């Protein structure tokens, strides 16, 4: 019962602030709504008992990436509300894409409902008490199975850092 | 009863402790932060050979309440073209981040709101780092140059020193082997010493980084009055400013609590495992009784009757606390309560000592210029923190793989770290010498 | 743990909103933010399935996606800043230097 309340709360906040994010004129308002969406997503991770990912989302995404976005918006003064929209066709393209995606997902749900063994498509989830401690399990898998992707991710971040510094430097 | 009501009742039955603790934190911490401000003013006065607030209440003890009332009834000014929604939101975010991060801290073995979070220390770090949105959005929403520059400087400082603080914490976590707060303190009990003796360089790095994290002097350029008016707080008046200020002091308490948990042994008394020092358990009661006795002594010297009465009341409170603490030690029935109460006392004592060091440094050291600040963070602290993580890891590996004695391994690797620190400082000197000589050659301040 | 369909629907909704944001908005920064939204939708999907199967591989993959999103945001914002310095615009339909 508590689980579903928490899920509906965070899911509602996520969808609502995502919808608000893509409709604001002011870029800073969009950034603030993206922050709330990311926090709600972190809440969903917590509800799924993914504790390490919850705090990784908050530290990395909200505390890192969104600070980057907000800094760039402030430094480059990009928050000026926009004037007239010249390309009106975008709205129809967006509507078409949304309807296409919705049809895809609807068809998928419809087919799943018709299968007799629909309930057995996924195994029953283990109860929260049966789950091992999340951080320890995470670390065990990260540093054994995924060691190579981990090292590649570090190199990727290094390359991205160098790239960002070079791109943003003033050419004197 | 209806099932909804039943589920609400069962929810309250399971979670009432956490709810009450949460409400207590939100209600009590601002008051405590207000009194920390008073303590700071009195300490500042003492170190500057004056008396500090004395008029409001006996010895100025009601000063925070007077300040809070004044700030509440002040006019709420919002700048002209300010973004009203974000202007309202920013101090709220700052205060909320500080208060929520208090939820995971264990103020003693019994007092923890979010019990046994698997990611304890990481939660506190991550949520308290959300406070920088309060700063950057506040500076932006003020629609003022000073505020924006102050906010960006403050955020840059926070982000830089957060990295150093995180790396210093990792050294402590390597020794503890877990992220859970209780398990960290239990690991310190298992080792028998506080982690500050096993990784002193990490503690020092965390001390410096946490001073910069909370925008305290000597790293308080973004909010120093002679620099940018008040930085990101310039346009905030009345209670909004109070929220920022209280958020900063709550952050100070959080940072002190993290350092205490990780390096100063949490709620353990000094020498926790040594049995023949068990009589140290009597120290908390003695200390509190000593404070009460001092209050009695001062009560006799008060000129005004109401001040004397107040001192008697404070003395009575101190004696009551001392009685409770002594009862848990001496009365056999209450022995089970001993770890709880004594642990809370030791924790509070260590947090207060850490905050005292913060204040002491504020009144002693001159302010860092912003480029010096960033230079210190990136060129000195972060490399040193990385070297320290490496050396603590080496020490753990030497102990487990090669069978060295733990103390020998730690001393050897700490020598390596100190060598690296000396090297970095030497590089620093060379660089600042080169920069200042270059500046002296090219700049001519009195030209023309 | 809700039935998995709930998480899939949430992930789909966020994905669609992000896709609409990428298509509709003119401000390049908001387009980048919508891309982050799409990545988050995928993360929710991964973590929901990792919870069902009881192991942690989905969460590890989600962590890699977060790291990758950080790198991409940094470089993307660097490009935007460089472009802004040259052309003084951040509107997507004004970035048409390669148009013939």
pLDDT at B447 over 60: no
Cβ–Cβ under 8 Å, residues A59 and B169: no
CA distances from C86 to A70, A103, A168 (A): 21, 43, 12
Domain annotation covers residue C62:
yes
Model confidence band, residue B229 (pLDDT cutoffs 50, 70, 90): low
Domain A1-82: which CATH class? Answer: mainly alpha
Nearest CA in chain A to C64: A153
Helix axes B239-262, B181-191, angle to 10 degrees: 40
Q: How many domains does chain C have?
A: 1
Cβ-defined contact of C36 to A61 (cutoff 8 Å): yes
CATH number, domain with residue C39: 1.10.287.3510
- For B344-371, write each residue's pLDDT tens digit: 888 999 999 999 999 999 999 988 888 8
Among A14-28, A47-61, A145-159, B395-409, which is the least confidently predicted range? B395-409
Q: Tell me, what's the pLDDT at B448?
A: 45
Average pLDDT of chain A? 84
On average, the pLDDT of chain C sits at 89
C-alpha span between C24 and A22 (Å, rounded): 8
Chain C residues whose CB is inside 8 A of the A168 CB are: 77-78, 81-82
Considering Cα of A50, then A54, then A60, then A62, what sign does the dihedral take?
positive
Angle at the Cα of B352 from the Cα atoms of B297 and B308, rounded to 5 degrees: 25
Every domain of chain A and the residues it spans: 1-82, 84-119, 133-172
- Calculate mean pLDDT across residues B314-318: 88
Which range marks the domain in which residue C36 is found?
4-90
Mutant choice from C51, C52, C59 vs A, greatest count of A C-beta within 10 A: C59
8 Å CB contact of B140 and A74: yes
The residue-averaged pLDDT of B186-214 equals: 91
Tell me the shortest Cα–Cα distance from C46 to chain A, in angstroms: 10
Task: Answer whether residue C73 is part of any domain.
Answer: yes
A158 to chain B nearest CA, in Å? 15
For residue C96, is it within any domain?
no
Q: Tell me the mean pLDDT in the region A103-120.
A: 69
Mutate one of C4, C9, C37, C52 to test the A interface: name it (highest A CB count within 10 A): C37
- pLDDT band of residue B230 (cuts 50, 70, 90) is low
Using CA atoms, how far residue B308 sits from B11, B62, C36, in Å, is: 48, 15, 63
**Averaged pLDDT, A62-75:** 90
Report residue A30's pLDDT band, with 50, 70 and 90 as the boundaries: very high
ipTM: 0.92
> Is C45 an 8 Å CB contact of chain A?
no
To the nearest whole Å, the CA of C77 is away from the closest chain A CA by 7
Q: Is the pLDDT of residue B56 over 50?
A: yes
**Mean per-residue pLDDT, A13-28:** 91
Q: What's the CA gap between B305 and C74, in Å, rounded? A: 66
Residue A58: list chain B partners with CB under 8 A: 126-127, 130
Q: Do A135 and B179 touch (CB under 8 A)?
A: yes
C39 near A CB under 8 A: no
- Pick among A38, A167, A170 to test the C interface (most C CBs inside 10 A): A167
At residue B2, the pLDDT reads 78
Q: State the smallest CA–CA distance between residue A124 and chain C in angstroms.
A: 7
Q: Which residues pair with B106 in a beta bridge?
A: B112
Query: Is the pTM value of this prediction over 0.80?
Result: yes
Highest mean pLDDT among A71-75, A105-109, A114-118, B211-215: B211-215
A60 in contact with C, Cβ within 8 Å: yes
Tell me the C-alpha to C-alpha distance, in Å, between residue B133 and each of B93, B127, B140, B225, C33. Answer: 7, 11, 10, 22, 17
In angstroms, the Cα distances linking A46 to A5, A15, B133, C3, C65 are 13, 17, 22, 16, 18
For B97-133, what is each residue's pLDDT tens digit? Answer: 999 998 888 887 877 777 778 888 999 999 999 999 9
Q: CA B268 to CA A84: how far, in whole Å?
A: 66
Q: CB within 8 A of A59, min separation 6: which ones?
A: B122, B125, B126, B129
Q: Find the helix packing angle between A27-47 and C28-53, rounded to 10°.
A: 0
- What SS3 class is residue B218? coil
Residue B209 has pLDDT above 60, yes or no: yes
Q: Is the CB of residue A145 less than 8 Å away from at least one CB of chain C?
A: yes
Model confidence at B49, pLDDT cuts 50, 70, 90, reads very high
Does some domain include residue C81? yes
Q: Which residue has the tokens 């989905």?
A: C58
C68 falls within a domain: yes
Long-range (24+ apart) CB contacts under 8 A made by B326-335 are B326/B282, B326/B285, B326/B289, B329/B281, B329/B282, B329/B285
């Amino acid at each position: 019962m508590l689980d579903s309340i928490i899920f509906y709360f965070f899911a509602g906040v996520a969808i609502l602030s995502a919808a608000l994010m893509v409709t604001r004129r002011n870029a800073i308002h969009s950034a603030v709504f993206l922050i709330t969406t990311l926090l709600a997503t972190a809440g969903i991770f917590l509800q799924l008992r993914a504790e390490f990912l919850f705090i990784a989302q908050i530290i990395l995404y909200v505390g890192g990436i969104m600070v980057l976005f907000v800094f760039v918006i402030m430094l480059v003064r990009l928050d000026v509300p926009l004037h007239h929209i010249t390309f009106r066709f975008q709205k129809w393209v967006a509507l078409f894409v949304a309807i296409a995606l919705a049809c895809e997902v609807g068809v998928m749900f419809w087919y799943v409902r018709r299968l007799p063994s629909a309930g057995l498509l996924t195994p029953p989830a283990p109860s929260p008490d049966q789950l091992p401690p999340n951080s320890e399990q995470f670390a065990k898998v990260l540093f054994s199975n995924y060691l190579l992707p981990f090292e590649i991710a570090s190199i990727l971040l290094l390359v991205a850092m160098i790239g960002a510094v070079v791109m943003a430097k003033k050419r004197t | 009863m209806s099932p909804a009501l039943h589920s609400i009742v069962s929810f309250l039955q399971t979670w009432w402790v956490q709810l009450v603790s949460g409400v207590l934190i939100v209600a009590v911490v601002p008051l405590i932060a207000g009194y920390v401000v008073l303590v700071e003013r009195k300490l500042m006065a003492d170190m500057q050979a004056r008396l500090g607030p004395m008029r409001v209440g006996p010895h100025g003890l009601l000063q925070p309440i007077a300040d809070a009332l004044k700030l509440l009834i002040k006019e709420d000014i919002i700048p002209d073209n300010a973004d009203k929604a974000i202007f309202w939101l920013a101090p709220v975010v700052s205060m909320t981040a500080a208060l929520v991060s208090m939820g995971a801290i264990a103020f003693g073995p019994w007092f923890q709101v979010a019990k046994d979070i698997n990611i304890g220390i990481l939660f506190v770090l991550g949520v308290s780092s959300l406070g920088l949105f309060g700063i950057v959005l506040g500076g932006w929403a003020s629609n003022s140059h000073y505020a924006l520059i102050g906010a960006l400087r403050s955020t840059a400082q926070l982000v830089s020193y957060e990295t150093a603080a995180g790396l210093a914490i990792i050294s402590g976590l390597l020794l503890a082997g877990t992220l859970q707060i209780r398990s960290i303190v239990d690991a310190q009990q298992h080792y028998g010493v506080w982690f500050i003796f096993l990784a002193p360089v990490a503690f020092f790095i965390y001390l410096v980084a946490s001073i910069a994290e909370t925008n305290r002097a000597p790293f308080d350029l973004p909010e120093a009055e002679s620099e940018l008016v008040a930085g990101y707080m310039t346009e905030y008046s009345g209670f909004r400013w109070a929220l920022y200020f209280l958020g900063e002091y709550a952050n100070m308490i959080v940072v002190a609590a993290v350092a205490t948990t990780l390096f100063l042994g949490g709620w353990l008394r000094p020498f926790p495992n040594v049995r023949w020092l068990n009589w140290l358990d009597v120290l908390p009661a003695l200390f509190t009784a000593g404070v009460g006795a001092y209050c009695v002594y001062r009560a006799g010297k008060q000129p005004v009757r109401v001040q004397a009465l107040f001192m008697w009341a404070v003395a009575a409170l101190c004696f009551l606390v001392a009685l409770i603490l002594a009862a848990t030690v001496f009365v056999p029935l209450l022995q089970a309560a001993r770890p709880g109460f004594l642990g809370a006392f030791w924790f509070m004592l260590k947090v207060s000592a850490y905050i005292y060091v913060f204040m002491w440094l504020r009144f002693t050291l001159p302010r860092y210029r912003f480029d010096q600040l960033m230079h210190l963070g990136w060129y000195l602290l972060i490399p040193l923190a990385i070297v320290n993580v490496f050396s603590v890891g080496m020490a753990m590996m030497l102990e487990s793989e090669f069978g060295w004695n733990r103390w020998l391994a730690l001393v050897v690797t700490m020598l390596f770290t100190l060598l690296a620190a000396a090297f970095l400082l030497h590089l620093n000197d060379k660089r600042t010498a080169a920069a200042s000589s270059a500046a002296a050659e090219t700049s001519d301040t009195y030209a023309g | 743990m809700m039935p998995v369909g709930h998480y899939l629907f949430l992930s789909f909704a966020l994905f669609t909103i992000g896709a609409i944001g990428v298509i509709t908005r003119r401000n390049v920064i908001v387009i980048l933010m919508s891309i982050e939204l799409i990545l988050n939708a995928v993360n929710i999907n991964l973590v929901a399935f990792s919870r069902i199967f009881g192991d942690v591989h989905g969460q590890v993959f989600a962590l890699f996606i977060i790291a990758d999103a950080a790198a991409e945001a940094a470089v993307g914002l660097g490009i935007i800043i460089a472009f802004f310095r040259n052309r003084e615009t951040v509107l997507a339909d004004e970035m048409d230097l390669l148009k013939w």
